[in-house]
Amino acid sequence: MGSGRIFPPVIDKDNTQSGVYMSFISTKSNGLVSVEDLAVKELAQKYGTPLYIYSKAQLEEHLNAYNAASSDVEHLVCYAVKANSNIAILQLMASLGTGFDIVSGGELARVIEAGGDPKKVVYSGVAKTFSEIEYALDQQILCFNVESPAELERINSIAISKKVKAPISIRVNPDVDAGTHPYISTGLKNNKFGVPVETAFELYKHAATLEGVKVIGIDCHIGSQLTSLTPFVDALDRILALVDRLAAEGIQLEHIDIGGGLGVVYKDEVPPAVSDYLKVVKSKLAGRKLKLICEPGRSMVANAGVLVTRCEYLKQGEVCNFCIVDAAMNDMIRPSLYSAWMRIEEADHNLDRPENVYNVVGPICETGDFLGKERSLKVQEGDFLVMHGAGAYGFAMSSNYNSRPRAAELMVEGGKVHVIRDRESVSDLWRNEHKL
């Protein structure tokens, strides 16, 4: 029982389509789920649970897939920081020359602290504040992805006051249904993101007249966890029609930012390979002198990480059985928030246990606190379970709800382990609070 089908085929080291995905998170012949060369069970025993563990080699392989598939065109991979903002992961990305897609001033500060280059940062987000825009201008970021006419005017005003020109693109909403969960769809008319494609042309013309901005690109992101190329192609066709119309008006763009959103395998999804996705994109861009920017997040980190939890109790109910674990919705909210299915398995498959069907639930005082339902598991109290696909939107969305300290995070590099976030202590819970 391995995890070799958790990501589409990637480009091998010879830049040919290998069709074989190298998984660095798998079940070894000894029955132990391992991250690279280290058994998850042993790491959990040493560092405690709940515990996030990431594979350095897996992160590098996912990034290499994007770079290899774009190697024949001018491009920049901008990792979407919101997927997992641990500073060690950002440091790794920066060391490999990656750019960053950010959505807050705090994310920009993280990128800089990690050694990232602000000149490789694109700034998305619908509610950029005055101070965030000023900070980003001071750091000389690559580009603001403008999400509204009001934001354009604010950026222009601040840039004029600073006697600089703000580099901008406009995030265009193409009104394309990504066919994904409504909470992670961003390209429809009823979504809060971007400027409608019907009005974007006039906004570009207006932007070109402003003293404080320089129009350099166009941006589009239609949603997350996409498993078909059709929505990407539909959106790209509409965006490129606008690019050509702008060129005819004398507004020549330097880059096109196609966003992110490429899906990963949690269960039985069949997302496109990175190489197939970018091959289609490049064919559409042929003949246009546009630098290609993409913003992968989930597809970079999701299946490079696991969440490890300990079974505290087994409880028999009249309708279903419960495996009560020490991880909860405050550690991993995706199942509760998105009804997301994530694979859960035993950390040690050699243990002689009776198999039963359980709802895997946590200690939070909410009925919605579950990690998985109707899972067949061979588990007893004290055993460790592994939740796969936990590298994206796991720790990044965690909280202290129910006054629970947040989990520790580890990075595995071969047979070496790096503690990249200490487990919070109980006293950390009120560290920034004050008594009357």
Quick one: angle between helices 56-69 and 274-285, nearest 10? Answer: 30
The number of angstroms, rounded, from the C-alpha of 196 to the middle of its chain's C-alpha atoms is: 25
Q: What is the pLDDT of residue 178?
A: 52
Long-range contacts of 420-424 (CB under 8 A, 24+ apart): 420/54, 420/86, 420/87, 420/88, 420/89, 421/52, 421/86, 421/395, 423/47, 423/48, 424/400
**Would you list which residues are annotated within the binding site?**
261, 295-298, 334, 338, 366, 393
Neighbouring residues of 92: CB distance < 8 A, sequence distance ≥ 6? 56, 59, 60, 411
Q: What is the pLDDT of residue 185?
A: 43
**Would you list which residues are annotated within the binding site for substrate?**
298, 334, 338, 366, 393
List the CATH code of the domain at 125-294: 3.20.20.10
| Encoded tokens for 166 | 């703000």
Give CA separation, 194 vs 205, 229, 429, in Å: 16, 21, 37
Mean pLDDT, 10 residues at a time, the chain of 436 residues = 35 34 87 97 98 98 96 97 98 98 98 98 97 98 97 98 98 73 45 86 97 97 85 90 96 95 90 93 93 96 97 94 98 95 97 96 97 98 98 98 98 98 98 97
Give, as one character, the DSSP assignment of residue 348. B
Give span(s): CATH 2.40.37.10, the chain: 1-57+299-436
Class of domain 1-57+299-436: mainly beta
Q: How far apart are CA 197 and CA 92, in angstroms?
A: 36
> Which are the catalytic amino acids?
365
Q: What is the pLDDT of residue 23?
A: 86
Residue 94: strand, helix, or coil: helix
Give span(s): CATH 3.20.20.10, the chain: 125-294
Q: What is the pLDDT of residue 177?
A: 60
Q: What is the pLDDT of residue 14?
A: 34
Helix-strand-coil split of the chain, %, nearest 5: 30, 25, 45
Q: What is the pLDDT of residue 374?
A: 97
